[in-house]
A and B are shown apart, each in its own frame.
Chain A
Amino acid sequence: MKSEYDVLVIGGGPGGAVAAWTAAKKGLSTCLIEKRPAIGAPVRCAEGVGKKLLTEFLDPDPRWISADIKRARIIAPDGTEIQLKEDQAGAEVGYVLDRKIFDRELVWKASEAGADVYVKTRAVKPILEDSIVKGAVVESCGTQQEVRAAVTIAADGVESKFARWCGIDSTVPVDELMSCIQYLVTDIDVDPVCNDFYLGNEVAPQGYLWVFAKGERCANIGIGIPAAKRGPGNRAKDYLDHFMAEHYPDGKIIECIFGGDPVCKPLDCTVTDGLMIVGDAARVVDPITGGGIGNAMVTGRLAAEVAAEAIAKGDTSKAALMPYDEGWRNSKMGQGLERNYKVKEFFIKLSDEKMNDLADSIAHIDFAEFSVRALVMELIKRNPKMLFELRELKDALKH
């Protein structure tokens, strides 16, 4: 392992892989380290991703696409269904990936472009000189060494310890961490091109339960609920097991997936001298859906682009890296995060009764366009009695 690079990327998820791929394509000497022994495993994801965004990066490949989703259903607490078809749902439905293969493909792209890749190699602390991040001390199979870099990109996912070691508080408020568990279930009757979202206090209090088709007779069935109120008897696993017993008692569970999904606001600032933070580590997950694959890739790419410019100018100070932070925050993605955070705040306060009323009011509509905005506008039109509550939501959408 070399001891000096232009760019050191910590974490081999989609955020880190795209950052390393972009940096290497720009001609920078790049190193990506991943602490797990294998890229993409264990999976920590329901694997749903929007088509449009994904194809900005890669041409769709059947090797890492498990299902091409044509419809989605939202199931209200009383069973009322809202159906969304692909031509209406726009980019909101998409593919269900096979992330074991997908994540590897992205890392392969990075290495093909020239990046060095090391697995079972963990950043154990930053190299800090006068509070400037100069790389990391990394440990591989018991041996530690320094890897210095002009820019370090922290793509270490939900744990986000690297930013913390560099003095940036990345703690997720406990009521804004979705405590998640998912089973990969086979031999069940599922619509192979449909994603289902179940809502309600009985099924998934203040969160949702998903059934994402993974092809014929196979699905990712999982749940995410805020961690704050969890304890013995009401953990994510208890809810999921209950749902499985009721809906898929004969399904065979061939994989168990656990994880935390941060649905808090993004970090106040995602750069410091010599350091950029991308993906889950920067807390850029969609607060409504918990989706973070696309945003990790977008922030990873932008971080590497800004790093390349900064390195070319010989200045990798916080000020020189700031265009990254400003760039994603002012982008459509950043604005969407801000808006959806407010929408989430509204929906988690809704009682089951109100949720049922809202679902019922729009259950039979064919949406010309499906977007959070269109859905909320329709809700407002059809629920004059809830105008007071919905006004708050409408205000949130103005910005």
Chain B
Amino acid sequence: MLNIRREICGYCGACVSVCPEGALELIDAYLTVDSETCISCGICTKACPLGALEVTDEV
């Protein structure tokens, strides 16, 4: 599962552009993930300049 740490996120949209599934969406200062389409591939976690994204084992 993708965990968005909002206290770190700077809502820049970098992660949105690399998600192969189109699962991320930036609504102004609010990043959301569609858990239905996210495949927990972790690609977006690399793009974040701050490290606000992590894939965890929880479901």
Contacts and interface: CB of A to CB of B under 8 A. Distances in A.
A179 B51 CA distance: 11
Interface range, B side: 20 to 34
Contacts of A35: 27-28
A377 interface: no
A172 B18 contact: yes
A174 B46 contact: yes
B13 A179 contact: no
A237 B46 contact: no
A262 B28 CA distance: 20
A227 B28 contact: no
B27 to A, nearest CB: 7
Contact of B14 (A120, A227, A228): A227
Interface in B11-31: 11-20, 22, 25-28
Q: Is the interface of A mostly helix, strand, loop or mixed?
A: mixed
Contacts of B15: 260
B55 to A, nearest CB: 12
A70 interface: no
A21 B37 CA distance: 37
Contacts of A160: 17
B50 interface: yes
Contacts of A173: 18
Contact of A260 (B27, B43, B47): B47
B13 A259 contact: yes
Interface of A: 35-37, 42, 44, 120, 122, 157-161, 164-165, 170-174, 177, 179-181, 227-232, 235-237, 256, 258-260, 262
